[in-house]
Amino acid sequence: MLPSLLTTLFTITAQPGTDIWRKPPSTDVFNGKSKRKTTQIMNIHTNNPKPLLSSQANTNTQPSLPPAPTSHAQTNPLSAFRSARVSFTGTWTHRYDQAGMALSLHRSTGTNCSSSSSSASSSASAGPSTPPKWVKTGIEYYQDQPRLSTVTCDAWADWSVALPAAGTAGPGQADRPVVTLLARREADELGTSLWVYQVVPAAAGNQGEEEVLLLPMRECAWAFAYEDDEDWMLTVAAYAARPDKNTTETLEVAFQELNVEWAVTK
Looking at residue 109, what is its pLDDT? 79
* Residues of the chain below pLDDT 50: 32-67, 113-126, 170-172, 204-205
- How confident is the model at residue 209, as a pLDDT? 54
Per-residue model confidence (pLDDT) at position 120 = 40
Asked whether residue 206 is domain-assigned, the answer is no
Res 186: pLDDT: 98
Residue 211 lies in a domain: no
Q: Is residue 210 part of a domain?
A: no
**Tell me, what CATH number does 142's domain have?**
2.60.120
The pLDDT tens digits of the residues spanning 52-87 come to 443 333 333 333 333 456 788 999 999 999 999 999
Residue 258 domain-assigned (yes or no): yes
How many angstroms separate the Cα of 97 from the Cα of each of 55, 106, 215, 243?
Answer: 32, 26, 23, 7
pLDDT at 255: 95
Q: Is residue 235 part of a domain?
A: yes
Residue 208 within a domain: no
How many domains does the chain divide into? 1
Q: Which domain holds residue 154?
A: 10-178+226-262
* Predicted pLDDT at 32: 44
Q: For residue 106, what pLDDT is reported?
A: 94
Do you know the residue count of the chain?
266
The pTM score is: 0.78
Q: What is the pLDDT of residue 51?
A: 37
What pLDDT is attached to residue 201?
82
For residue 215, is it within any domain? Answer: no
Q: Does any domain span residue 73?
A: yes
Per-residue pLDDT, 110 = 60
Which pLDDT value is given to residue 202?
A: 76
Instruction: Give yes or no for a cis peptide into 66 (omega within 30° of 0).
Output: no
